[in-house]
Copies of this chain bind each other. A is one copy, B any other.
Amino acid sequence: MQPGPPTTLGLKLAGFLAAVRRDRERIGAESDRTLGLQFGGAVGTLASLGTVGDSVSAELARILDLAEPALPWHSHRDNLVAIVQLLGILTGTLAKFGKDVALLMQGEVGEASEGVGEARGGSSTMPHKRNPVASAALIAIHAKMPGLVTTMLNAMPQEHERGLGLWQAEWDTVPEAFCLGSASVAYAIEIAEGLTTNSARMQTNIDAALGLPLAEAVSTALAPKIGRVAAHRLLRNAVDQATKDNARLSDVLKHMPEVNMHLSDAEIDVLLDPHNYLGSAQRFIARVVGDEDALD
């Protein structure tokens, strides 16, 4: 599996920032519903309060600073399910963060690393190990959320005005979801604040790929001249040759007459420079961080 074309750490992080913002927006919108009063007596009529049920309800909501819904909702659990589901999405976003960091921390990659405090992440028997402790936690947390969401969804069809059993299944599921959700945020902050990056290693890894990830750049440049299919086939052959000979793609291309006809050696070098094949990355970043200066 060869890596794809180059991207930047900045674009990757902007993607996480945008996703976390969407998650926060959803949770904020749902919270208004979640923080609503449920007060209805045995079957939702507030009958034991006679004619003043709805007044008591309004006053109770005021005192507790909770929204007052149109009517009691004891056996309609959608508000609770919705908030747990959104915590599930949040941990999913952050699990991807942990996974990407852990992949970058692999010994053979080494492009980024969780910050490592004195007290953590070491192995009891292996002196050389630095483990991605927080990334692992993000992955572990998310692996549990589908189960909690499943329990909440399972518990929805509660019988009549007071379900039998399903209601009880929520009791420790909701707090567990909040605990896991907030732990996930805490671990992600820890990673974000301590993240170290190794740009020399990024360069080394790109170099080790022999220019193959940039094949698309050359193919794209040739397509207007010899047609898209021919360009693709040509680069495919060049890539095969480079792989077979463990040669740099630039060297292979510079010796192919069909390429020379259309591209000079200097043009090939420009095309195969990763810095020249980043497309709209900076503009996309600027849109997310809202820094207009970053444009051009």
Contacts and interface: CB of A to CB of B under 8 A. Distances in A.
Interface of A: 1-7, 11-12, 14-16, 18-19, 22-23, 26, 29-30, 33, 41-51, 53-54, 57, 69-73, 75-79, 81-82, 85-86, 88-89, 92-93, 95-96, 98-100, 102-103, 105-109, 113, 122-123, 125-132, 135-151, 153-162, 164-169, 173, 205, 208-209, 212-213, 215-217, 219-220, 232, 235-236, 238-239, 249, 277-281, 283-285, 287-288
Contacts of A100: 159-160
A277 B100 CA distance: 31
A166 to B, nearest CB: 6
Contacts of A106: 1, 3, 106, 108-109
5 contacts: A11-B71, A18-B73, A45-B281, A45-B284, A125-B219
Given A4-B129, A46-B279, A22 B18 contact: no
Given A73-B18, A137-B165, A219 B127 contact: yes
A19 to B, nearest CB: 4
B156 A150 contact: no
Contacts of A86: 82
A164 B140 CA distance: 8
Quick one: copies of this chain in the complex?
4
Contacts of A144: 151, 169, 173
A157 B151 CA distance: 15
B18 A284 contact: no
A55 to B, nearest CB: 9
B161 A127 contact: no
A160 B128 contact: no
A45 B76 contact: no
Contacts of A99: 157, 159, 164
A83 B137 CA distance: 24
**Of A5, A33, A99, A173, which is in contact with the most chain B CB atoms at under 10 Å from its CB?**
A5
A235 to B, nearest CB: 4
B151 A5 contact: no
A122 B232 CA distance: 11
